[in-house]
Structure 1
Amino acid sequence: MSCFVNDDDPFPADECLFADTFSQESIYKLMGQELKITQIFGANLGVAAPVWESAIQLCRYFEKQRVEWRGRRVIELGAGTGVVGIVAARLGADVTLTDLPVTLPPLEANVCANMPSSGWPASPPTVLPLSWGEDHTKFPSDWDLVVGADIVYLPDTYPRLVDTLAHLCKKNTVVYLSSKMRNEHKAPGFFEEHLPSRFYVQLVHRDDSENINIYRATLKKDQK
């Protein structure tokens, strides 16, 4: 079953509320781009299903900073619905979106649904599986930007996430991570202890109302 919900409407259609699995199509206007994103809610996708507020805020931060995307190589970790990476690709970046294998079919569908009418400005976005700390060495280390929105929520994964970021960032890459600062998930500890063990970390944006931080990080020279 599917239902259409405009992003301005806070209440989804009633028939979707109690379905075991349902899809919700929403429109987002970010960085001058209009995206049509389908979110598939069900037991299999879990946290990969929704568009998280951290992703919206990261896009708005990039817009405010007037980030230039054309010609830049970007990889998104834990892409989920793909909002951040898709916007970057529509603005001319060469984008690779990654997540766990189970999340890739709906992610690929969102990529296809948001191809500009004139075609992708650069190469079409690539969608690939990536399990942190396991197969990250299959990826190159020459990205311009690594981005992630709300991917810091499982403490057991933090060392593997840092290992993956360190591998991806060996060529002067800049990391931007937007995160809900959940104390119960020890998110502050990731940015105060785990990430600084190998990266220079700077808080560049704070939203008190949503408890969301955006961090900029670069790999320490002795780690390259």
Structure 2
Amino acid sequence: MSIAWHEIRDHLMNSSSTLSFQHNFDAIRRSNVPLWRFGDPAALLDALHVGGRAPDDKNRLLVALVGVAQSGGETSDCALTLMLLALWPGLDAVRRRSIWRRIGTGDEVASEILARASEAIRCLDLQRVNWIAATILRNIERDLIRTRQREDRHQSLRSEADPDEIPTDGEVQSADDSPELLHGDLVRIVGSDADLVIRVAIDGFSQAEVASEMGLTEAATRKRYQRATRRLRDVLQEFR
């Protein structure tokens, strides 16, 4: 619920005001030129939240914090907390939109967002990302939507099962077998493109993302996906 969500923020704010947190913050700013001019965490957060500072300047501050959060040293948790607080307005907007989309309950969405945000900060590739806040927030919201879409698709597949294919007594199959059965059916129809179809049509990844994952060009992936879906449509037409 929203109360619990705001309580989480209050907890983070309270932890950022402790003496030990200030000591860690001092260590961070002494070793990072973009942060040295901020005497305490509140001053840094004000600079990140209040308008008037250039986007490039704010982004440099976030880059410095992410670098420390990924360092694994004593100051990494301090930097992670500061990053979560810096992103909080954006995270709150993602939370509200996710609840509106009925992705989950308030508690479920809050838990997912915090977990994904922490993981994104720890794992962000600073060599490939230009805009820290926008990338993290966009990826979190995209992944939440895709997770819900995958769940909806799997639920739809289960609800549309052919009654003749429902196992009889003594043939009960585990729900965990469903992905393997689907994969096997697709392999029989589209061959080696089965994984590509599942990643795009079921798991919700874009063709560009699957191309990168499979080591293919986007053009080749697009052609193979189109060929596979045409084959699937042809097979389905045979049963009509």
* TM value normalised by structure 1: 0.27
Structure with bigger helix share is 2
Structure with bigger strand share is 1
Which structure would you say has the larger Rg? Answer: 2
* TM value normalised by structure 2: 0.25
